[in-house]
Structure 1
């Protein structure tokens, strides 16, 4: 199967590429588009592909703008950090809607759906029942309300509203509380936290080692090499930096 990947984040593209190699080694990425302009160029070319894996927020706009009005025959699996576009995606030949960070088992199910769809060689149809299922999956998800924190030999509960950030240090995951320099070890990796435990409308992974709470963001300003420097409502004086490859998505996320 020939794949068109539309993704402007290098790390996400590499993860998609590695998952395709692992889950479907016979599949081939024939084109990688990173902008609306490049995507429109693909549709005006004679390039042949069977499936589209498409991000929604790109560096120069929303991918829907390049898809609108096109007679696209290939099914599209949208891969995005934002759940609010789920219904709109079905106006653009959407076959599935996968939230970032990409979970391997979730992408596997999307690939299986694509194989069934393409083997049938029929036009996609989406009933109200399927749409209702999408709404229920992405709008009624329950997230953690408190964490059991370890401080030395003591255990205590910390409400999620009081958490400024989660970060990794020396192989351990820490939770840092707002308006203080108190931190505690939590028994989850950052991947586990962002894969379903934390509300993605409130928490965002700004780099490989930190997830922040938007409610406790005080200030952000430009930093070296296209990155962003953030100030959180804590008493810790560490530098909190948004990785360059995440800056565009972070700006879009923060304006949701």
Structure 2
């Protein structure tokens, strides 16, 4: 079995690797990655492994950011010291959720669940496991947002939203018609409610709808310039370290 470990603590990653190899000697650890950025770069440029063992709190953020940039189609075993992310982990292909410190018996049980997971789908479908997980893991996201403008409440359908951006201190929704509405949520909260296949977080300020993209151009210093069908207050640029993940998202339809 080919696996990768995503863990920001070097000693913890090595200890986990030793435990994995002890329990499953045939396992090949393809990579040990320490950050969200490194994981996105690796998964965007390499073949998907058969299993990922992943910590949740990494050096540059929560691991769930990885799933927003990369379509992970293999089972994931989450290994963490925090118990409050179990629901999100289940939504993210999680077949087990191990709380640190865990014993070999816990990891052995997790491997058995992975085996059962694979065997079930192999026996009950003609397509391969990755395609089945892909279909199961389709996220439709929130369908509409309630907004307040001109002393009136109204709903804005999500598919009408071209982009969402930070306007001064709070996010604003901008529709394909050019209408703009302020919302009382953080951009992170809004992002967590949207389909990761339909909306992409370009940077700290902008979430864009795939349907709003008009064209993507190469820019200076290996950046990308994203032009939408409607104007934005600023140029939408993607740094060279994120271009691979963004292009993968564009292609993964």
TM-score band, normalised by the shorter chain?
0.5 to 0.7
Q: Distance in 1 between the 2:162 and 2:245 partners?
A: 20
Q: Distance in 1 between the 2:232 and 2:85 partners?
A: 37
What's 2:104 paired with? 118
Q: How many residues align?
A: 204
Q: How much has 1:226 moved relative to structure 2?
A: 2.3
1:162 aligns with 2:185: no
1:186 aligns with 2:168: no
Alignment of 1:76-225 (within 5 A): 76-77=53-54, 80-81=66-67, 84-86=71-73, 89-90=74-75, 94-96=76-78, 105-106=85-86, 112-113=98-99, 115-116=101-102, 118-120=104-106, 122=108, 124-125=111-112, 126=114, 127-128=116-117, 135=133, 139=137, 141-180=139-178, 182-195=179-192, 197-225=193-221
1:234 aligns with 2:216: no
CA gap of 1:29–1:169, structure 2 versus 1, over 3 A, is farther
| TM-score (normalizing by structure 1) | 0.60
CA gap of 1:83–1:250, structure 2 versus 1, over 3 A, is closer
Q: Distance in 2 between the 1:253 and 1:44 partners?
A: 23
What whole-Å deviation, never above 9, does each CA across 1:14-53 have from its counterpart, x for those lacking one? xx74xx6xxxxx96567xxxxxxxxxxx9699xxx8x999
What whole-Å deviation, never above 9, does each CA across 1:165-215 have from its counterpart, x for those lacking one? 0111221011111142x21111221211222x1000000001111100001
CA RMSD between the two structures: 4.6
What whole-Å deviation, never above 9, does each CA across 1:123-167 have from its counterpart, x for those lacking one? 7122249978x9599536552111122334333211111100011
CA gap of 1:112–1:153, structure 2 versus 1, over 3 A, is same
Q: Distance in 2 between the 1:157 and 1:52 partners?
A: 38
For the 8 Å contact 2:164–2:206, the answer to whether it is kept is: yes
Q: How much has 1:60 moved relative to structure 2?
A: 7.3
